[in-house]
Structure 1
Amino acid sequence: MDKSYADEVARRRQAILERIEQAAERAGRDPADVRLVAVSKTVGVDEVIAAIHAGYRCFGENRPQELGRKLAGLAEHDDLPTVRFDMIGNLQKNKINAVLGRVGLIHSISSAHLAEAVSSRVLKHAGEEKADTAMKAPFVQDVLLEVNVSGEESKSGFSPDELRRAMPDLVELSGIRIRGLMTMAPRGDAEAARRTFSELRELRDELAAAYPAQDLGELSCGMSEDFPIAVEEGSTVVRLGRVVFDPAFELE
């Protein structure tokens, strides 16, 4: 990897962290409460390695096949620190097995049927691995529930009312652990983005009060164009791709 690219990734990371810190301070938040996911879905293994050297430790992929390619590529470098991958894109049911046990968090549980399918696969896998692991804690997949707060037809996810209706059944699924909510805001409209993130936070707070046994602390929202607004509105996870990896993407 060209040293100038690696240096640019490192420079951009520092600028991103400064913007997160400034946004958190405006909202009276601790910037340490915001986790940065570098969305690596459009770059190669070399670019991921440059990002690791720059300090990134969590990456986001949206296709299981590409996730596998990245994991295999990084495994060839035994001098790298440990990193984690999250699944951030639409997950097809026939690809669930390719993701389980390989990602820390699935951000995009967009329907009750998908939640049930993931939970079922986890439990099936646990049964297959049961043999002599009786003392081992059972594997549970951490997930976020994707909410289409803005109501755009082009976006997937539960509507807020659908999620309210589905929650009693979702919290009973023993193969998954619901850690919070995820959304995507309309592009190119800062005020619409702010409303979307604010409404997601309010919905999370409502559900956390209704289901106190659940740890719903995570809010995954904010991308390259709008992450400072998301931080101001309570995001705990920002998913950044172009602003991390593309030298042509303008850093304000």
Structure 2
Amino acid sequence: MDVIEKGETVKKRIAAACKRSGRNPQEVQLLAVSKNHSADDILQLNKSGWTDFGENYVQELAKKHEELPQSISWYMIGHLQRNKVKYIADYVKMIQSVDTVKLLHTIEKEAKKHNRQIPVLIEVNVGEEESKFGVRPTLEVCMELADECLKLPHVKLRGLMTSAPYFEDPEETRPIFRKLRELRDEMNKQNSQLKLDVLSMGMTHDFEIAIEEGATCVRVGTAIFGPRDYANRQY
């Protein structure tokens, strides 16, 4: 199958997961994670109507943004260093990996330069894995960042993001996704100004479970593009 056929298969799986959980498939955004994949594959999907793509590295994201059509919406989903925000601040659709107050302030400064508001998500390390970025999954820690966001006119907090630990049985990820949803709900109760509506959770291995637990955005790469060939990275 080519990338378009694989992508359509993923969409069908999303629809089936929504049906099982009584949800409307229109509530779930499919973000095609294109890191280490070619501009040609992205262009093929874009020509067939796909617009939302996620990248993990600023250099790769910036290069693809230059090469590919302006109709593409780029989402930063990887760890973001403060000194690199300036390279994407004028066009990035959303930054899903905010984990410090300092990063928030850098995004505010760079967004202000371009007279725009950048939507962001707080990255939460729900599984508390040492190998992953993200804040601790406590209401206190998340509210500290959320309250800071409310002071910044060029940053708009939309919700939370997490990457679940890898389990052979995807069913074991369910408590991780449920915890993120419950954390989001508690944050909204704490401050009515927040109105957090985005839960970015679920990847190729576990996105159906994430949808059943309330994901509004799933980040799928391998199931669409196939395995990444790190030996032939173009970026």
Specify if TM > 0.5. Answer: yes
2:30 aligned to which of 36, 45, 49: 36
Which residue does 1:151 correspond to in 2?
Answer: 128
Which residue does 2:232 correspond to in 1?
Answer: none
1:63 aligned to which of 57, 60, 65: 57
Tell me the secondary structure at the aligned position of residue 145 of structure 1: strand
Q: CA deviation digits over 1:192-219, x for unaligned, max 9?
A: 3111110000000111122222231000
Structure 2 matches for 1:50-129, cutoff 5 A?
50-75=44-69, 82-123=71-112, 125-126=113-114
Structure 1 gap ranges (5+): 1-6, 76-80, 127-137
Q: Displacement of 1:38 after TM fit?
A: 0.6
> What is the count of residue pairs matched by the alignment?
225
2:174 aligned to which of 181, 194, 205: 194
Identity of aligned residues (%): 38
Question: Which protein has the larger Cα radius of gyration, Structure 1 or Structure 2?
Answer: 1
Q: Displacement of 1:149 after TM fit?
A: 0.9
Cα distance in 2 for partners of 1:105, 1:214 equals 17
Cα distance in 2 for partners of 1:115, 1:247 equals 33
Which residue does 1:142 correspond to in 2?
Answer: 119
Structure 2 gap ranges (5+): 229-235
Letter in 2 for 1:144: L
Tell me the secondary structure at the aligned position of residue 52 of structure 1: helix
Letter in 2 for 1:139: R
Cα distance in 1 for partners of 2:74, 2:158 equals 16
Q: Displacement of 1:165 after TM fit?
A: 3.7
Q: Displacement of 1:247 after TM fit?
A: 7.3
Which residue does 1:133 correspond to in 2?
Answer: none
- Relative to structure 1, is the Cα distance of residues 26 and 142 closer, same or farther in structure 2, using a 3 angstrom cutoff? same
Cα distance in 1 for partners of 2:162, 2:186 equals 16
Cα distance in 2 for partners of 1:214, 1:106 equals 17
Cα distance in 1 for partners of 2:60, 2:143 equals 33
Letter in 1 for 2:200: S
> What TM-score do you get using the length of structure 1 for normalisation?
0.84
The answer to whether 1:177 aligns with 2:156 is: yes
The answer to whether 1:25 aligns with 2:14 is: no
RMSD over equivalenced CA pairs, Å: 1.8
Cα distance in 1 for partners of 2:10, 2:100 equals 32
| 2:122–2:161 contact (8 Å) kept in structure 1 | yes
Tell me the secondary structure at the aligned position of residue 53 of structure 2: strand
